[in-house]
Amino acid sequence: MSGASRAARGLAAALDPLLVASENDLQTNGADSIGGQTGIYSALQYALHRQFPQAWDALKSSKPIKLASTEGQNMMHLYEPEDNMFRLAVWLKAKETGATDGEAGRLAKRSMHDYQINAPWINAARTTFIPFIGYTYRAVPWLLRTAGIKPHKLLKLMMIAGALNAMFSLLAPGGDKNRKQLPEEKAGDVWGLVPKLMRMPWNDRNGSPVYLDIRRFLPMGDVFDLGEGHAAVPLLPSLYPSGPLATVGEIVFNKSLFTGDPIVQGTDTTKEKTEEIADYLYKSFMPNVVGIPDTYATQNVANAINGKTDPFGRQQSVTQAVASSFGVKLGSYPSDVLRTAAFGKLWHQRDEIKIKIKGLERQPHEHGISQADFDRQQAYQLAKIQKLNADFMKKFP
């Protein structure tokens, strides 16, 4: 059985509870629910035959998806009054300084991103599987214009963030010596100027250092971050697929774009795969809000209460877990947990290189390459292992 067939069967099994609920709703509401049931049943039939574009079209016509889409649009429209309020404040301030109505209006318009985009290819991407490209499309020109006209505004924020990090590092118990042990995607800098994670001037109750992810607090602090995902080549965050189509793709190819880990394991039973896919679908489509059962935010709080680390090996207090659900990414980074995770990654990388060397060893006997070429390529791979070992020892002497 192919991977796509297994994914389709797993998806069908995961949707079984939804179909049962749909049948109950059909018996209760009669003709009022016919449209919704038809869309779901048609989508399932198309999916079972691996006709995913037709399945998506049928699913979009169902009442549950229409309801979810409507609520999503309503949430997006809530941002508009907030933006208008800030624009009005900019307009009033400009008028107080003697600007004309037209000048104040242009200044107010430039002060907030306008997501009414006319570019066809940008709009096509926003409505498919790259919904966040609209932000980058508007924000990058704004950043370049600000950097060219008023660079001191950006440098001021960086100086403040850098000064706070330096001061907190001096006040923190044990200083900032654990920073070099942070994972690669967390140990870099924003624009090469200030660390992505700011050291907090306290440790948690277990004595582990606490860091705050400040990328979302700086203008476009994460828009150029190439280390956030697990693509084969570095991608900007806005280019990573997301939304319903991306979720279907993750299930078909059995890989989470967020963690880089497989959704189901090859040794899982059919029952285990069904449960894991259903859980993944549920978490993907439910709002990530504390209090909604089995969402990531709720599980993080529960894990913090029980002292369990998150998928990235971080310990979190209940306060940190709740704050993270609201966008304040506070986390503890115990040295022993970081060491275990780094050693596991090192072991996996060395195994990959050893497998590659094993493949090279067969080629001279099969006349695929000469002995001289084999020696050169083997030496190159062994040098990679030595570098990995040396880098690990620098972090964890």
pLDDT digit string (tens) for 371-380?
888 889 999 9
What pLDDT, in 10s, does the model give residues 213-259?
A: 888 777 777 777 766 666 667 777 777 777 777 777 788 888 887 77
d(CA 162, CA 118): 38
Asked if residues 161 and 154 have their Cβ atoms less than 8 Å apart, the reply is no
Q: Does residue 28 belong to any structural domain of this protein?
A: no
Tell me, yes or no, whether 346 and 327 share the same domain.
no
Question: Is 346 found in the same domain as 310?
Answer: no
Is the pLDDT reported for residue 294 higher than 50? yes
Residue 16, pLDDT > 90, answer no
249: Cβ–Cβ under 8 A, 6 or more apart, which residues? 129, 241
Q: State the pLDDT at residue 63.
A: 57
Is 376 inside any structural domain? yes
* Whether residue 348 is found in the same domain as residue 360: yes
Confidence of residue 384 (pLDDT cuts 50, 70, 90): very high
Would you say residue 212 lies in a domain? Answer: no
Range with top average pLDDT, 24-33, 138-147, 225-234: 138-147
Instruction: Tell whether the model's pLDDT for residue 26 goes beyond 60.
Output: no
**What is the structure's pLDDT at 380?**
94
Please state, in angstroms and rounded to a whole number, the distance separating the CA atoms of residues 118 and 209.
47
The answer to whether residues 352 and 328 belong to one domain is no
Domain identity same for 324 and 352: no
Tell whether 349 and 381 lie within a shared domain: yes
Which residue type sits at 370?
S
Q: Is residue 67 part of a domain?
A: no
- The number of residues making up the chain comes to 397
The pLDDT assigned to 315 comes to 63
* Span between the terminal Cα atoms of the chain, in Å: 48
User: Within 227-269, where are the H helices?
Assistant: 244-253
Q: What is the pLDDT of residue 34?
A: 39
Average model confidence (pLDDT) for the chain? 76
State which residues form the domain around 292.
286-333
Q: What pLDDT does residue 59 have?
A: 60
3-state secondary structure of 208: coil
Q: Round to whole Å and give the CA distance between 125 and 122.
A: 5
Domain count, the chain: 2
- From 36-45, 118-127, 261-270, the region with the lowest mean pLDDT: 36-45
In the beta sheet, which residues pair with residue 189?
Answer: 195
Residue 349 lies in a domain: yes
Instruction: Summarize the confidence of residues 62-82 as an average pLDDT.
Output: 56
Domain presence at residue 110: no
* Rounded average pLDDT over 45-59: 62
Mean pLDDT of the 308-328 span: 72
Taking the C-alpha atoms of residue 320 and residue 261, their distance in angstroms, rounded to an integer, is 24
Please indicate whether residue 31 or residue 281 has the higher confidence score (pLDDT): 281
**Rg of the chain (C-alpha set):** 26
Q: Do 377 and 344 belong together in one domain? A: yes
Q: Is residue 7 part of a domain?
A: no
**Domain co-membership, 327 together with 346:** no
| Dihedral sign for Cα atoms in the order 188, 190, 192, 198 | negative
What letter represents residue 50's amino acid? Answer: R
In a domain, 83, yes or no: no
In contact, 10 and 274? CB cutoff 8 Å: yes
- Return d(Cα 103, Cα 50) in angstroms, integer: 56
306 and 329 part of one domain: yes
Lowest mean pLDDT among 70-74, 222-226, 301-305: 70-74
Q: What is the mean pLDDT of residues 194-201?
A: 90
pLDDT above 60: residue 155: yes
Q: Which helix (H) or strand (E) holds 330?
A: strand 330-332
**Amino acid 104: pLDDT:** 80
> Distance between CA 135 and CA 76 in Å, rounded?
13
pLDDT at 30 over 60: no
How far is Cα 220 from Cα 140, in angstroms, rounded to an integer? 8
Q: What is the pLDDT of residue 310?
A: 61
By mean pLDDT, which of 148-152, 256-260, 330-334 is the weakest?
Answer: 256-260
Please tell me the predicted confidence (pLDDT) of residue 351. 94
pLDDT of residue 13: 54
What is the percent of the chain where pLDDT is above 90?
10
Structure confidence at residue 53 (pLDDT):
64
Pairwise CA distance, residues 243 & 254, whole Å: 16
Residues 366 and 326 in one domain: no
pLDDT (0 to 100) of residue 32 = 43
Segment 73-120, tens digit of pLDDT: 555 555 566 667 777 887 888 888 888 888 887 777 766 666 667 777
Q: Do 354 and 321 belong together in one domain?
A: no
Angle at 151 between CA 148 and CA 155, to 5 degrees: 150
Q: Per-residue pLDDT for 7 more than 50? A: no
Domain boundary among 298, 313, 333: 333
**Rounded distance, CA 76 to CA 97, Å?**
33
